[in-house]
Structures are given as structure tokens and as C-alpha cells.
Amino acid sequence: MAYLVTGGTGKTGMRLARLLKDASLPVLLASRRGAAGALDGFEAVRFDWTDKSTFENPFTHTFPNGEQIKGVYLVPPEMPEPAPAMNEFIDYAMSRGVRRFALLAGTSATKGGPFVGKVWEKLADSGVECGILSPTWFMENFTEWLHPQTIKNENKFYTACGDGKTAFISANDVALCEFHALTDEKPVNDNILVTGSECLSMDDVAAIVGKVAGRKIEHVRISPEETTKRHLESGMPEYLAQYIGFLESNTSRGSEAWERSDVEKLTRKPPQRFTEWAEEHKNEF
């Protein structure tokens, strides 16, 4: 059995690919850049959600021992309505023999709802084996995505999260959940709440990051509208900038203060704590 990782150069995709390779499982990366954007030591094919002529590329790839792709990790593309393209690919993949999928959703996703909700519904109604992964805010937002530049340049980061707390999760733990959702003998066939073991406010995060970095880091409170404006000015697509503002507003009202987690149940190990993660990444702040 071989595995296809869409979004193979992304935050969770590349980590999942390494886990599969370390387990000696055949893995193929799919991305718009194809082999040109592949991680060292990995095979990749060109794949574009907006170009269905590329959907066949993973399935015409020849694996060393003739393996066939039976499991697919689905990462939503950066577009306002990913479901039509993703659902069309799911149908195509099923026609090529794929029987298990793992979908990266999020704690805000609902079956049948907006964004990936229709993809979740598609998988649930298709009779395939599937795991719906619903992570909260990533710890890596402070080193890889939303906040690293202002932390480095201003000793600050800006959010509309207020006093709201979050059960932050590391991308490594998300990838480990993906790995088990794809490879465990027993399929999940359910939503997996991918959250950490402790709830922290953004002020708590600023204190932890400041301690490991050896300097004061400040969490600056702004409005959801200011969050959206800042991300638009950084070049983020409008729909995504607005969505981040929406998520931060919800976080301020307690939406991410999860008191339960499915991580240990699925992976047989507790999720990493933020303090431990921050210490490992202290040279990146």
C-alpha cells in the first residue's frame, strides 16, 4: 500500500511524509510545483486542485515495488470554496482504488458546513474509511506563519484573541494523528479533536516565548478588523485574512479552550506541551 500526501510541502504534509518514510511506507508528495518543490529524498508529482487534468498524475506514478495508492491525505487548497474540486478528486481517487482518506479540517469545521464541511460530508457519505482531523491553533503559528516577523522585529505579536485560551497543538502531533488515521489497521471513521493538553492565553504564550527567548515579548490586543487589515497588508488572500479575524474573535469568546483531546487516544502518547515546544524552538524567536 502506498500513500499520497497532498499539500506535500506544507506544515503538516511534510511532517507526515517523513513519518511514513521512517516507517518504510511508500509515499508520494503532490504539489503544484511537483518534483521541483519536493523535499530531499522524496518523490513528487505535479498536482493542482484547480486543474483536474493533474488528478491522474499520482496514479500513473510507478512505485519501486508496484504498490498502488490506497490512502490519501487531503489538505484543503487556499481558496474560498475548496469542496467542489476536492470532492471531484475524491470521486476520482475512489475510482482508482483509494479506500482511506484523512482530511485536515479544523475545530471550526462542521459536517456539511462551509469551507471543508462539504468535503467532510462527502467522505462520510461515500462509505470510505476516513478520519477527519480537527486541530486548534498550531504552535508553529509563532515560528512559521502568522507571528514570527513581528516577534523577531518588534518583540511583539498581535491578535484579537483577548483573554481567550487555546489548547495549542504542535504540527508534529497533528502529523502523528494523520499518520495513525491513515495507517492504523482499524479506521477512525470519525472526527478527531486534535488539541493540546493545556489551555493558554496569548498573554501566557508571550510570557513563555519571552522566557525562552531571553527578552520581553508582548501580546498586543487588537480588534478582529485590525487583524484582517494587518494580514491583508501582508499579502494574505482576502477570504483568509477575514477568516483569521473571525477565528480570533471566536477564540476571544472561548471557542478554543478545549478540555478534551483525542490525540493520546489515537497516537498512544500525550501531545507536546507549549513550554517544551518553545524551548525546542527558542533560536527561532
Q: What is the pLDDT of residues 236-283, one digit of tens each?
A: 999 999 999 999 999 999 999 999 999 999 999 999 999 999 999 999
Query: Residue 183 to residues 109, 120, 176, 212: CA-CA distances in angstroms?
Result: 24, 19, 10, 36
How far is the C-alpha of 92 from the C-alpha of 261, rounded, in Å? 33
Write 247-250 long-range contacts (CB < 8 A, 24+): 247/108, 248/159, 248/160, 248/161, 248/224, 249/160, 249/224, 250/108
How far is the C-alpha of 108 from the C-alpha of 220, rounded, in Å? 24
Evaluate whether 203 touches 219 at the Cβ level (below 8 Å). Answer: yes
How far is the C-alpha of 17 from the C-alpha of 22, rounded, in Å? 9
Q: What percent of the chain has pLDDT over 90?
A: 93
How far is the C-alpha of 174 from the C-alpha of 13, rounded, in Å? 10
Better-predicted residue by pLDDT, 216 or 10: 216
- What is the overall mean pLDDT for the chain? 96
Q: At what angle do helices 238-252 and 224-233 cross, to 10 degrees?
A: 150
Mapping DSSP to helix (H, G, I), strand (E, B) and coil, where does residue 31 land?
Answer: strand
User: What are the structural domain ranges in the chain?
Assistant: 2-135, 137-169+196-258+272-284
Query: DSSP label at 236?
Result: -
Mapping DSSP to helix (H, G, I), strand (E, B) and coil, where does residue 6 land?
Answer: strand
**pLDDT-derived band at 164, boundaries 50, 70, 90:** very high
Superfamily in which the 137-169+196-258+272-284 domain is placed by CATH: UDP-galactose 4-epimerase, domain 1 (3.90.25.10)
Cell of 258: 478545549
* Beta carbons within 8 Å of 14's beta carbon, 6+ residues apart: 8, 39
How far is the C-alpha of 261 from the C-alpha of 162, rounded, in Å? 23
Per-residue pLDDT, averaged over 174-193, amounts to 97
Per-residue pLDDT, averaged over 176-200, amounts to 97
Strand residue runs (E) in the chain? 2-6, 27-31, 43-46, 69-74, 100-104, 129-135, 156-159, 165-166, 190-194, 200-201, 218-221
Instruction: Determine the Cα angle at 139 with ends 137 and 144, to 5°.
Output: 105
User: Within 13 A of 155's CA, how many CA atoms are on the CB side?
Assistant: 10
- Do 2-135 and 137-169+196-258+272-284 have matching folds? no
Min mean pLDDT across 28-37, 67-76, 86-95, 179-188 is at 28-37
Pairing of strands 190-194, 156-159: unpaired
Domain 2-135 of CATH type 3.30.465.10: no
